[in-house]
Amino acid sequence: MTGRLRRALRATVAVVLLCVTLPALWLSPAKAAVPKPEARQQVSQAAAQVLTWTADNSMTAYKDVPATAVAGPATIVFENSMATGSTFGMTHTLTFDTSTPGYNHDVNVNIIASPYDADGGRHEIQVNLTPGKYRFFCAIPGHQMVGELVVTSGGSTDTTAPQVSANVSGEKDADGNYVGSATVTVSASDTESGVDRVEYALDNGAFTTYSAPVSVNTAGSHTVQYRATDKAGNVSPVGSVSFTVVAPPAKDTTAPQVSAQVAGDKDADGNYVGSATVTVSASDSESGVDTVEYSLDSQPFALYSKALTVDQPGAHRVSYRATDKAGNTSAVASVTFTVVVPPAKDTTAPQVSAQVAGDKDADGNYVGSATVTVSATDTESGVDKVEYALDGASFTTYSAPISVNKTGSHTVQYRATDKAGNVSPVGSVSFTVVAPPAKDTTAPQVSAQVAGDKDADGNYVGSATVTVSASDSESGVDTVEYSLDGQPFGLYSAPVAVKQPGAHTVSYRATDKAGNASDVASVSFTVVSAEQKDTTPPLASAQVAGDKDTDGNYVGSATVTVSATDTESGVDRVEYALDNGAFTTYSAPVSVNTAGSHTVQYRATDKAGNTSPVASVSFTVVAPPAKDTTAPQVSAGVSGTKDADGNYVGSATVTVSASDSESGVDTVEYSLDSQPFAVYSKALTVDQPGPHRVSYRATDKAGNTSAVASVTFTVVVPPAKDTTAPQVSAGVS
């Protein structure tokens, strides 16, 4: 069996399992409220306003939803299909809320869609909307998809601002910064009166008209704000994009890395049967790959754009090389291989069979629906396609199990064609689908028992076994699940043995075939290790903490923290002795505040009576210095390019310095132009034109704060750039 066939069979089995385990909910028909007589004429013409919802693999949000609509007839489309990204086979609903206060309740929408239902997951209904708000959500248990649809009364007056967005493009480095420059492209649209103008502002500058993409090539962090105005005067909210431009890296002098792989079907001698495919890969971490070239059997090098297929029988050599955007070319490398003629033509048709699955009643009829799974194999050229026909209809391509939910007798015919064109005889399966009984709305009964050997404290020695039981007198139990110690729920198929010592909780729940899930219940217990004699003493250690002076002495006091661990019977007690005194029980860190040299000895004993060797820590405590009551010294300087009037051209940089010879500087703060004080961490650059005042102060570690001081200066706009060349002349005498 080829790798391709094995992958196809695995994919088919995965789809079958998804379809078998889906709840019966997806087979329910879509429902909508019946319009009032006077609205039926309008509803029949609702195609002019189409509102589309889509869903995918998410359980927290729809993929796409409409936000607004106009009162009157509308076609509602709900699609949950492979095309919209619903690749797990998950069922979703589009349900309109008809009970929550504050919303319209006059439209009853409850569409249930699955990629595997009879309509392929796409459903349409006609409704008549009235002005106001409708709340919609997904009614599947556990799903959190919800939103609002705002319906207006319509009319020709445009009161809606344009939609506006921006995209940043350019070459990025590994950190996401734009190398050399970044280009910001702003787009706007308005479906009513139309866009009148688009504006942008760079780095908090004034808004100006946007007429072409904005190129930013100054290194540093940037923000571009943008907005749009329509022809009715509605202005969109201001949006923004932020990015960083960095200088381009140094010149690239390193050639790309390049490699090649040969793929195809091989015979027992390692030769490629029929053809071989050569895939060349190249990478360059600096300027990037520009071109990749190849040469087949010493022919001139040609540009490589896609995998190369070689089907000429015989020995072959493919040489290859790559060139980066800086012009560096790698050394030529090569791969060799042999292509042989494929074996004799396949004249045998595929083997094909079909299985019918679903819930059966006592007479062997399928209740609610039946799923037909067709399987085909071909040991020579391989299966090319499988086809089926339902109840005498034309044959169509089989791509997934066929779900039949229409009551009555049915026949599915099937056939398969291999890659050599051989077609199997037509086979068939027949079955009957009957309507399901009344809906089961009662969850299963579920319970759990814990068994095992217990000690005197009721703990389970060595292991505990949890057995979960569930029953359902209506549709029957479909699945039982459990979770050990908060892990994700998994399928319960046999009693759960827990051997890890410690406290444990097993949560459990059951779901019946109608999709009703029981409440989560749990049992808790403790597993202890089987008793083994402990002959190893505990491990004990001690740490000394406190404020130190430059000589390493502890100022005012030192705190000794003793820790002990024992991986067998466990620590029973910890003891310490201060300065050769008697050992006493350790219950909290030991604080020593008497000036002088000290030694703390310590030891630990486990519950088996093993005592660790006596260890010790030594240290010196000195009296604290006199209290600091003097505020820090603080100053500031202004730097930058000045004009003839002493004003700073373009920007000014304010640098604040502080010192404290006693407790040391704790924080430095500044205030620009009377704004609230903020923590100063680096030089402050002011580029806003106009007069400015920077106030500053400092606080030491003793809490003393200096008086507020300040510097004043003026920033002016730099003069326009000189783009006119000098006048020059010459004379000959």
pLDDT in tens, 272-320: 999 999 999 999 998 899 999 999 999 999 999 999 999 999 999 999 9
Is residue 630 pLDDT above 60, yes or no? Answer: yes
Both structure tokens of 4: 């391709």
Q: Which helix (H) or strand (E) holds 336?
A: strand 333-340
Residue 153 — very low, low, confident or very high, per pLDDT cuts 50/70/90? confident
Quick check: helix, strand or coil at residue 631?
coil
Is 69 a member of any domain?
yes
**Local confidence band at 231 (pLDDT 50, 70, 90 cut-offs):** confident
Interior/surface letters 32-59, b for 16+ CB within 10 angstroms, e for the rest: bbebeeebeeebeebeebebebbbbebe
If asked whether residues 279 and 170 sit together in one domain, one would say no
Using the predicted structure, report yes or no on whether residue 155 has a pLDDT greater than 70: no
Instruction: Give the residue with greater pLDDT, 233 vs 292.
Output: 292
On whether both 28 and 133 belong to a single domain, the answer is yes
Helix and strand numbers (H, E) in the chain are 2, 57
Q: Which pLDDT score, from 0 to 100, does residue 439 have?
A: 82
Give the confidence band of 250 by pLDDT, cuts at 50, 70, 90: confident
| Selection from 707, 701, 543, 699 nearest residue 625 by Cα | 701
pLDDT of residue 44: 39
* Residue 617, both tokens: 């820590």
Task: Indicate the SS3 state at residue 48.
Answer: helix
What sign does the dihedral 176-181-186-187 (CA atoms) show?
Answer: negative
Q: Give me the pLDDT at residue 719, please.
A: 87
CA distance 697 to 699: 7
- Residue 79's domain comprises 24-152
| C-beta of residue 598 within 8 angstroms of C-beta of residue 579 | yes
Are 568 and 524 within one domain?
Answer: no
Report pLDDT digits (tens) over 473-484: 988 999 999 999
Residue 360, burial from CB neighbour count under 10 angstroms (0-12, 13-18, 19+)? middle
CA 243 to chain centre: 22
Domain C-terminal end among 296, 317, 340: 340
Proportion of the chain above pLDDT 90, given as a percent: 79
Residue linked to tokens 């009970």: 99
Give mean pLDDT, residues 110-138: 94
Per-residue pLDDT at 256: 96
Across residues 711-727, what is the average pLDDT?
A: 85
Which among 206, 223, 246 is the end of a domain? 246
Statement: residue 98 has pLDDT above 90: yes
Is residue 270 located within the same domain as residue 236? no
In a domain, 9, yes or no: no
730: in domain:
no
Lowest mean pLDDT among 380-384, 395-399, 407-411, 631-635: 380-384
**Mean per-residue pLDDT for 165-178?**
94
Q: Are residues 35 and 143 in the same domain?
A: yes
Question: Is residue 14 situated within a structural domain?
Answer: no
Are 533 and 608 within 8 A, CB to CB?
yes
Give the per-residue pLDDT at 157.
66
In a domain, 11, yes or no: no
Long-range contacts of 319-322 (CB under 8 A, 24+ apart): 319/294, 319/295, 320/258, 320/260, 320/280, 320/292, 320/293, 320/294, 320/295, 321/258, 321/292, 321/293, 322/255, 322/256, 322/257, 322/258, 322/280, 322/282, 322/284, 322/289, 322/291, 322/292, 322/293
| Residue 239 and residue 122 share a domain | no
720-727 average pLDDT score: 76
DSSP for residue 5: H
Asked if the model's pLDDT at residue 43 lies above 60, the reply is: no
| pLDDT for residue 721 | 75
Of 208-212, 708-712, 724-728, the one with minimum mean pLDDT is 724-728
How far apart CA 42 and CA 74 sit, in angstroms, is 9
**Confidence at residue 674, expressed as pLDDT on a 0 to 100 scale:** 93
Q: Check residue 23 and give its pLDDT.
A: 38
The verdict on 223 and 294 lying in the same domain is no
Q: How many domains does the chain have?
A: 7
Domain end: 434, 456, 487, which one?
434
* 268 lies in the same domain as 224: no
Split at pLDDT 50, 70, 90, the class of 733 is low
Mean of the pLDDT values across residues 387-409? 96
Q: Hey, how many other C-beta atoms are within 10 angstroms of the C-beta on 128?
A: 19
Bridge partner list, 604: 574
Cα radius of gyration (the chain):
39
Mean pLDDT of the chain: 90
The answer to whether residues 545 and 558 touch, using CB atoms and an 8 Å cutoff, is: yes
- Same domain for 36 and 145, yes or no, is yes
* 412: CATH: 2.60.40.10
Q: Backbone dihedral region of 270: left (phi > 0), alpha (psi from -120 to 50 degrees) or beta?
A: left
Residues 237, 270, single domain; the answer is no
For residue 462, being part of any structural domain is answered with yes
Asked, for residue 4, whether it belongs to a domain, the answer is no
Mean of pLDDT values over 561-584: 94
Backbone phi, psi, residue 137, to 5°:
-160, 170
In a domain, 7, yes or no: no
Residues 513 and 613 in one domain: no
* pTM value > 0.85: no
Is 324 within 8 Å of 256 (Cβ atoms)? yes
Q: Is there a single domain that holds both residue 233 and residue 120?
A: no
Q: Are 346 and 367 in contact (CB under 8 A)?
A: no
